Structure 1
Amino acid sequence: MKINIYAIAKPSNDEFDKLCKEFMKMSSKYAKVESVSLFNKKIAKAQTLGEKEAQQSYSEAFEPYMNGYNIALDVLGSKMESFEFAKMIENSTVVNFFIGGAYGFERDFLKKCDKIVTLSDLTMAHKIANLVLQEQLFRALCIINNHPYHK
């Protein structure tokens, strides 16, 4: 299984990134997990223009990566517990997660996704959302592979 996490974020190398890399390393015995930060001049400019322009720039950045089972993380998404989350990804060979930018997603982009999921009713910084997602992915992979981490 290959799991890709695409986020509208500037690349960094802080404590959150170190923790995310640790979860990716632990997950590597079950799946190849990769995290990609997408941010460019077009996104930066669009964010200064407004919500519609920003969302459109996010969609343009994400669309080339929509090959596989596509899951957007959005406040309007489905709530699920860890076993449901594991079941959602277990039969896919390529899973793509999308974390939107400061303005969220265009409704048209969400319609193109196979699933829309929320990690919480709370709004989180991108780095925290990425870390929570990484932990839940490791937990899901452990559930799928009957590893006792989940207990």
Structure 2
Amino acid sequence: MNINLIVLGKIKENYFKDAINEYKKMLKSYADLSIFEIMDEPCPENLSDKDMEKVKNVEGEKILSKIKDGAYVIALEIGGKSLDSVAFADKIKDLMIDGHSNITFVIGGSLGLSQEVLSRADYKLSFSKMTFPHKLMRVILMEQIYRAFRIINNHPYHK
């Protein structure tokens, strides 16, 4: 099983890096994990709606260029479907049963994802109606992927 994360921005804080590396290490026994960091576009706070769309489109092109052919794409989207951890594990298990050996998760930047990326997504997943910084979301996503594999393999996990 190959799990790819396509994410905007580079993480500089060691506490986020440490958490990501810890989950990456723990996931090794379940899946091959690759993280593709894409440089986010400058985004001043006073952008017009038109300029925001331009930024999302430029970022979207970069994201789409990293998606491998045949990948099942799950976009993290505030308007997506909410799942609990067991349902998320079931989703991943069902994808594996259906022959999807390459799952790609996409985390957008501060403006969200372009319409082209959302259109390419096979599934839109929401972790919450709240907005999280993409650095923290990366850690949360990796923890949930790890938890999903623990559940799939009937290994204990904290409820």
The TM-score with structure 1 as length reference comes to: 0.89
Which ranges of structure 1 fall in alignment gaps of 5 or more residues?
none
- Does residue 5 of structure 1 match 2:5? yes
Mapped contact 1:142–1:150 kept (Cα < 8 A): no
How far apart, in 1, do the equivalents of 2:18 and 2:80 lie? Answer: 27
Which ranges of structure 2 fall in alignment gaps of 5 or more residues?
none
Superposition deviation, residue 13 in structure 1: 5.0
Mapped contact 2:9–2:39 kept (Cα < 8 A): yes
Structure 1 vs Structure 2 CA RMSD: 1.6
1:114 corresponds to which residue?
A: 122
How far apart, in 2, do the equivalents of 1:127 and 1:13 lie? Answer: 9
1:2-57 CA distance string (max 9 Å, x none): 101111112435211110110111111010112221106xx33xx35621111101
Mapped contact 2:110–2:133 kept (Cα < 8 A): no
- Cα pair distance change 1:54/1:140, threshold 3 Å: same
Mapped contact 2:6–2:37 kept (Cα < 8 A): yes
Counterpart of 1:140, as a letter, is: A
How many residue pairs align between the two structures?
A: 147
1:32 corresponds to which residue?
A: 32
1:130 corresponds to which residue?
A: 138
1:34-90 CA distance string (max 9 Å, x none): 2221106xx33xx35621111101111111222311010011111001121112222
The TM-score with structure 2 as length reference comes to: 0.85
Mapped contact 1:27–1:138 kept (Cα < 8 A): yes
**Larger fraction in helix:** 1
- The runs of at least 4 consecutive aligned structure 1 residues that moved more than 3 Å come to none
